[in-house]
Amino acid sequence: MDIKQYLDSTYLKTADQAGLTEAENRGVVRNAVREAIDENFKLVMLRPDMVAMARQMISDARSTVTIGTVIDFPAGKGSLEAKLEEAVKAIEDGADDLDFVLDHEGFRAGNAEGVRKQVLECTRLGLSHGKIVKWIIEIAALNDHEIVQLSALVKNTVMMHFEETAYSRVFVKSSTGFYVTADGKPNGATVPAIKLMLENAYPLPVKAAGGVRTYEEAVEMIALGVKRIGTSSAKAIAEGGAADPGY
Protein backbone atom coordinates (compact mmCIF):
# COMPACT_ATOMS: atom_id res chain seq x y z
CA MET A 1 0.00 0.00 0.00
CA ASP A 2 1.24 3.50 -0.87
CA ILE A 3 0.34 5.35 2.31
CA LYS A 4 1.97 8.69 1.50
CA GLN A 5 -1.34 10.37 0.69
CA TYR A 6 -2.57 9.50 4.18
CA LEU A 7 0.45 11.04 5.91
CA ASP A 8 0.52 14.53 7.40
CA SER A 9 4.27 15.03 7.87
CA THR A 10 4.45 16.94 11.12
CA TYR A 11 6.93 19.22 12.87
CA LEU A 12 5.49 21.29 15.69
CA LYS A 13 8.37 21.91 18.08
CA THR A 14 9.37 25.42 19.02
CA ALA A 15 13.07 26.28 19.05
CA ASP A 16 13.11 25.96 22.85
CA GLN A 17 11.45 22.55 22.76
CA ALA A 18 13.92 21.33 20.16
CA GLY A 19 16.92 22.82 21.98
CA LEU A 20 17.79 24.90 18.91
CA THR A 21 18.20 28.54 18.01
CA GLU A 22 15.35 30.17 16.11
CA ALA A 23 17.44 30.06 12.92
CA GLU A 24 18.29 26.39 13.41
CA ASN A 25 14.67 25.49 14.07
CA ARG A 26 13.60 27.35 10.95
CA GLY A 27 16.15 25.26 9.06
CA VAL A 28 14.55 22.09 10.42
CA VAL A 29 11.18 23.31 9.17
CA ARG A 30 12.61 24.08 5.72
CA ASN A 31 14.03 20.56 5.57
CA ALA A 32 10.64 19.13 6.57
CA VAL A 33 8.92 21.08 3.80
CA ARG A 34 11.52 19.96 1.23
CA GLU A 35 11.07 16.35 2.32
CA ALA A 36 7.28 16.62 2.02
CA ILE A 37 7.71 17.98 -1.50
CA ASP A 38 10.26 15.34 -2.52
CA GLU A 39 8.22 12.48 -1.02
CA ASN A 40 4.86 13.84 -2.21
CA PHE A 41 3.19 13.53 1.17
CA LYS A 42 -0.40 14.63 1.51
CA LEU A 43 0.44 17.56 3.77
CA VAL A 44 3.09 19.18 5.91
CA MET A 45 1.87 20.26 9.36
CA LEU A 46 3.67 23.22 10.95
CA ARG A 47 3.34 25.92 13.58
CA PRO A 48 1.45 29.04 12.39
CA ASP A 49 4.57 31.21 12.21
CA MET A 50 6.08 28.83 9.63
CA VAL A 51 3.14 28.75 7.23
CA ALA A 52 4.10 31.69 5.02
CA MET A 53 7.60 30.33 4.47
CA ALA A 54 6.24 26.89 3.63
CA ARG A 55 3.73 28.37 1.20
CA GLN A 56 6.49 30.18 -0.66
CA MET A 57 8.63 27.03 -0.84
CA ILE A 58 5.77 24.88 -2.11
CA SER A 59 4.70 27.48 -4.64
CA ASP A 60 8.27 27.82 -5.92
CA ALA A 61 8.48 24.03 -6.33
CA ARG A 62 5.07 23.91 -8.05
CA SER A 63 4.16 21.12 -5.67
CA THR A 64 0.71 19.84 -4.75
CA VAL A 65 1.68 19.30 -1.10
CA THR A 66 -0.77 21.12 1.15
CA ILE A 67 -0.04 23.00 4.37
CA GLY A 68 -1.68 22.46 7.73
CA THR A 69 -1.27 24.41 10.91
CA VAL A 70 -2.44 24.22 14.50
CA ILE A 71 -4.70 26.78 16.18
CA ASP A 72 -4.73 27.51 19.93
CA PHE A 73 -2.02 24.90 20.32
CA PRO A 74 -1.43 22.88 22.40
CA ALA A 75 -3.83 23.55 25.30
CA GLY A 76 -6.93 24.78 23.45
CA LYS A 77 -7.96 27.07 26.30
CA GLY A 78 -8.04 30.30 24.30
CA SER A 79 -11.20 32.30 23.71
CA LEU A 80 -13.33 31.98 20.59
CA GLU A 81 -12.06 35.39 19.49
CA ALA A 82 -8.43 34.31 19.92
CA LYS A 83 -9.01 31.11 17.95
CA LEU A 84 -10.67 33.03 15.12
CA GLU A 85 -7.94 35.66 15.00
CA GLU A 86 -5.19 33.06 14.79
CA ALA A 87 -7.09 31.12 12.13
CA VAL A 88 -7.62 34.23 9.98
CA LYS A 89 -3.88 34.94 10.06
CA ALA A 90 -3.12 31.34 9.09
CA ILE A 91 -5.54 31.57 6.18
CA GLU A 92 -3.89 34.80 5.02
CA ASP A 93 -0.47 33.12 5.21
CA GLY A 94 -1.61 30.26 2.99
CA ALA A 95 -2.71 27.37 5.22
CA ASP A 96 -4.94 24.72 3.66
CA ASP A 97 -5.87 22.81 6.83
CA LEU A 98 -6.72 24.37 10.19
CA ASP A 99 -6.30 22.00 13.14
CA PHE A 100 -8.03 23.60 16.13
CA VAL A 101 -7.38 22.33 19.64
CA LEU A 102 -10.75 21.81 21.29
CA ASP A 103 -11.12 23.13 24.83
CA HIS A 104 -11.37 19.72 26.49
CA GLU A 105 -10.75 21.24 29.91
CA GLY A 106 -13.67 23.61 29.46
CA PHE A 107 -15.86 20.73 28.36
CA ARG A 108 -14.92 18.65 31.38
CA ALA A 109 -15.67 21.64 33.61
CA GLY A 110 -19.22 21.78 32.27
CA ASN A 111 -18.93 24.36 29.49
CA ALA A 112 -20.20 22.15 26.69
CA GLU A 113 -22.16 25.03 25.17
CA GLY A 114 -19.07 27.23 24.94
CA VAL A 115 -17.13 24.41 23.29
CA ARG A 116 -19.99 23.81 20.87
CA LYS A 117 -20.00 27.50 19.91
CA GLN A 118 -16.26 27.42 19.24
CA VAL A 119 -16.69 24.36 17.03
CA LEU A 120 -19.49 26.05 15.10
CA GLU A 121 -17.85 29.42 14.52
CA CYS A 122 -14.34 28.18 13.80
CA THR A 123 -15.64 25.50 11.46
CA ARG A 124 -17.76 28.09 9.68
CA LEU A 125 -14.72 30.32 9.21
CA GLY A 126 -12.59 27.51 7.80
CA LEU A 127 -15.23 26.12 5.47
CA SER A 128 -16.18 29.57 4.19
CA HIS A 129 -12.58 29.99 3.02
CA GLY A 130 -12.45 26.56 1.39
CA LYS A 131 -10.24 25.05 4.11
CA ILE A 132 -10.24 21.66 5.78
CA VAL A 133 -10.96 21.89 9.52
CA LYS A 134 -9.86 19.40 12.15
CA TRP A 135 -10.82 19.32 15.83
CA ILE A 136 -8.21 17.88 18.19
CA ILE A 137 -10.02 16.37 21.17
CA GLU A 138 -6.85 15.22 23.05
CA ILE A 139 -7.81 11.65 23.85
CA ALA A 140 -5.01 11.17 26.40
CA ALA A 141 -6.79 13.69 28.65
CA LEU A 142 -10.16 11.94 28.35
CA ASN A 143 -11.84 8.78 29.52
CA ASP A 144 -13.74 6.62 27.03
CA HIS A 145 -17.08 8.27 27.78
CA GLU A 146 -15.59 11.71 27.14
CA ILE A 147 -14.01 10.56 23.87
CA VAL A 148 -17.48 9.45 22.77
CA GLN A 149 -19.06 12.71 23.95
CA LEU A 150 -16.58 15.02 22.24
CA SER A 151 -16.53 13.05 18.99
CA ALA A 152 -20.31 13.25 18.95
CA LEU A 153 -20.32 16.95 19.90
CA VAL A 154 -18.21 17.84 16.86
CA LYS A 155 -20.25 15.56 14.60
CA ASN A 156 -23.62 16.84 15.77
CA THR A 157 -22.57 20.48 15.51
CA VAL A 158 -21.40 20.00 11.94
CA MET A 159 -24.43 17.96 10.88
CA MET A 160 -26.83 20.49 12.40
CA HIS A 161 -25.33 23.59 10.79
CA PHE A 162 -23.62 22.58 7.53
CA GLU A 163 -24.56 20.83 4.31
CA GLU A 164 -23.71 17.18 3.82
CA THR A 165 -21.13 18.15 1.21
CA ALA A 166 -19.06 19.72 4.03
CA TYR A 167 -18.85 16.62 6.20
CA SER A 168 -15.74 15.20 4.51
CA ARG A 169 -13.89 18.47 5.20
CA VAL A 170 -14.31 18.45 8.99
CA PHE A 171 -12.23 15.90 10.89
CA VAL A 172 -12.12 14.73 14.46
CA LYS A 173 -8.44 14.34 15.39
CA SER A 174 -7.04 12.36 18.29
CA SER A 175 -4.12 14.26 19.75
CA THR A 176 -1.72 17.18 19.85
CA GLY A 177 1.21 14.93 20.67
CA PHE A 178 2.20 17.41 23.39
CA TYR A 179 -0.10 16.35 26.23
CA VAL A 180 1.90 15.12 29.22
CA THR A 181 0.54 11.88 30.60
CA ALA A 182 1.23 10.15 33.90
CA ASP A 183 3.11 6.88 34.29
CA GLY A 184 4.28 6.78 30.68
CA LYS A 185 0.79 6.25 29.27
CA PRO A 186 0.35 6.92 25.53
CA ASN A 187 -0.34 10.55 24.62
CA GLY A 188 -1.26 9.84 21.00
CA ALA A 189 -3.58 7.66 18.98
CA THR A 190 -4.42 4.18 20.27
CA VAL A 191 -6.53 1.56 18.54
CA PRO A 192 -9.28 1.46 21.21
CA ALA A 193 -9.63 5.26 21.24
CA ILE A 194 -9.61 5.50 17.44
CA LYS A 195 -12.37 2.90 17.26
CA LEU A 196 -14.49 5.01 19.63
CA MET A 197 -13.82 8.11 17.54
CA LEU A 198 -14.70 6.36 14.28
CA GLU A 199 -17.94 5.02 15.73
CA ASN A 200 -19.06 8.34 17.17
CA ALA A 201 -17.70 10.88 14.66
CA TYR A 202 -19.17 9.18 11.58
CA PRO A 203 -19.87 10.48 8.93
CA LEU A 204 -17.05 12.91 9.75
CA PRO A 205 -13.55 11.56 9.00
CA VAL A 206 -10.99 10.82 11.70
CA LYS A 207 -7.29 11.67 11.90
CA ALA A 208 -4.95 9.60 14.07
CA ALA A 209 -2.16 11.83 15.37
CA GLY A 210 0.80 10.64 17.41
CA GLY A 211 1.45 7.08 18.46
CA VAL A 212 1.70 5.61 14.95
CA ARG A 213 5.30 4.39 14.85
CA THR A 214 5.53 1.86 12.02
CA TYR A 215 4.23 1.14 8.53
CA GLU A 216 2.23 -1.77 9.95
CA GLU A 217 0.58 0.45 12.56
CA ALA A 218 -0.26 3.00 9.86
CA VAL A 219 -1.83 0.30 7.68
CA GLU A 220 -3.83 -0.90 10.70
CA MET A 221 -5.16 2.61 11.30
CA ILE A 222 -6.10 2.98 7.64
CA ALA A 223 -7.84 -0.41 7.71
CA LEU A 224 -9.90 0.76 10.69
CA GLY A 225 -11.10 3.71 8.63
CA VAL A 226 -8.75 6.59 9.50
CA LYS A 227 -8.37 9.09 6.64
CA ARG A 228 -5.24 10.92 7.85
CA ILE A 229 -2.25 10.05 10.04
CA GLY A 230 -0.12 12.72 11.71
CA THR A 231 3.51 11.78 12.31
CA SER A 232 6.92 13.38 12.65
CA SER A 233 8.42 10.32 10.94
CA ALA A 234 6.41 10.18 7.72
CA LYS A 235 9.33 9.16 5.51
CA ALA A 236 10.46 6.39 7.87
CA ILE A 237 6.94 5.00 8.13
CA ALA A 238 6.37 5.17 4.36
CA GLU A 239 9.63 3.26 3.82
CA GLY A 240 8.81 0.63 6.44
CA GLY A 241 11.43 1.87 8.91
CA ALA A 242 11.29 2.78 12.59
CA ALA A 243 9.77 6.09 13.64
CA ASP A 244 11.34 8.59 16.00
CA PRO A 245 10.03 8.43 19.58
CA GLY A 246 8.45 11.92 19.38
CA TYR A 247 5.24 13.10 17.72
**Catalytic site residues?**
99, 173, 207
Query: Which residues touch 35 (CB under 8 Å, ≥6 apart)?
Result: 9, 41, 234, 235
Looking at the chain, the number of H-run helices and the number of E-run strands are 10, 8
Of 66, 90, 91, the C-alpha closest to 7 is 66
Of 128, 113, 99, 122, the C-alpha closest to 209 is 99
Look at residue 207 and give its three-state secondary structure. Answer: strand
Q: Give the Cβ contact number of residue 80 at 10 Å.
A: 17
Cα 98 versus chain centre, distance:
8
Paired strand residues for 230: 8, 209
Query: Which residues touch 145 (CB under 8 Å, ≥6 apart)?
Result: none
Q: Give the Cβ contact number of residue 49 at 10 Å.
A: 15
Check residue 45 and report its DSSP letter: E
Q: Give the Cβ contact number of residue 217 at 10 Å.
A: 18
Of 20, 38, 32, the C-alpha closest to 68 is 32
